[in-house]
Amino acid sequence: MSCSLVATDDEAVCANCGAVSSDTVKLKNCTACSLVKYCGVDCQRAHRKQHKKACKQRAAEREDEQLYSRGHERPEGDFCPICTLPIPLPMHEHSGFNTCCMKRICKGCDLATQKRGMFDCPFCRTPIPTNDADDLTMIQARVAKKDPVAINFLGKKYFFGDLGLRKDIQKAVELWTEAAELGSIQALFDLGDSYDEGDGVDQDKAKAAEFWTKAAMQGHVSGRYNLGCIEFEKGNYGRSGKHLLISAKLGHKNSLEIIKNMFMRGQANKTQYAEALRGYQDAVEEMKSHDRDEAKRLGFCKG
């Protein structure tokens, strides 16, 4: 490979030897930062010491760009499949999870269905199981089909020892790992919790943050909130505020409260708090419906 070619200002060149891109010289970007190009591995290695600082800085910037630009929409599982509205947070207080179809149905749609005289699953019309054995059979049928939601849900049952299962936290972690590999965002979050607390695995706060980051970048609200809390505890108020602003705009009340407190302490500015408040209010408004209001009034859900 020739390294003796002279480049003009507009031409791509090897950062180490100056070789110009041509039919015979194929340059490739530095995979970590994309700031420079190299004609081969030898030149990349030779230039590593000189490039290391700028590369590391740009790589970190790119990671942050992805971290804060993704996950601004809640995932599909956070929406009721009947009314198609996002479910208020915390979701378990405003919805029910049906093992027949692995769908989370908001209490408003559940109430509306019952008012029409239908007491089966509001989504798939399967009779609701009346005992733990039938419930577990439904879950295991979906697990056999490699449904990531079902696998994650079964992990929860092992974690708490529900449905007559023997409590087995390590089994829960195994199931969450499988579910995460199959695309379950909730499983990523649950694995983060496991590593954070040391449940079924060796405690590893850094690994917990990695799992929460993966979940947050796919719209998991609590995962994003946890990242905000981590940065807050480190005193990184700018980074914390960015995370909490995203989760507040997704309807997370505690995120809004922390930003409010940060504003009162001078750790966030008025513009940030106003944006968080407006975003939170818009998110809450988006989740409202007549059926949900009635379900709350009748005590079907908390809050």
Q: pLDDT (tens digit, 9 = 90+) per residue, 183-237?
A: 999 999 999 999 999 999 999 999 999 999 999 999 999 999 999 999 999 999 9
Q: How confident is the model at residue 302 (pLDDT cuts 50, 70, 90)?
A: low
Cα separation values, 99 from 127, 128, 147, 152, 264, Å: 11, 9, 11, 12, 45
Return d(Cα 245, Cα 224) in angstroms, integer. Answer: 9
The number of angstroms, rounded, from the C-alpha of 196 to the middle of its chain's C-alpha atoms is 16
Two tokens, residue 26: 């194929």
Q: Which two tokens stand for residue 163?
A: 């449905």
pLDDT by residue (tens digit) across 115-169? 999 999 999 999 999 999 999 999 999 999 999 999 999 999 999 999 999 999 9
Asked if pLDDT for residue 70 goes beyond 90, the answer is yes
Neighbours of 289 (CB within 10 A): 16
pLDDT tier, 7 (very low <50, low <70, confident <90, very high otherwise): very low
Contact 214, 226 (CB under 8 A): no
Positive or negative torsion for Cα 201, 205, 206, 210: positive
Confidence (pLDDT) at 35: 86
Q: Is the dihedral of CA 253, 251, 94, 230 positive or negative?
A: negative
How many CA atoms lie less than 13 Å away from 286 in the CB half-sphere? 19
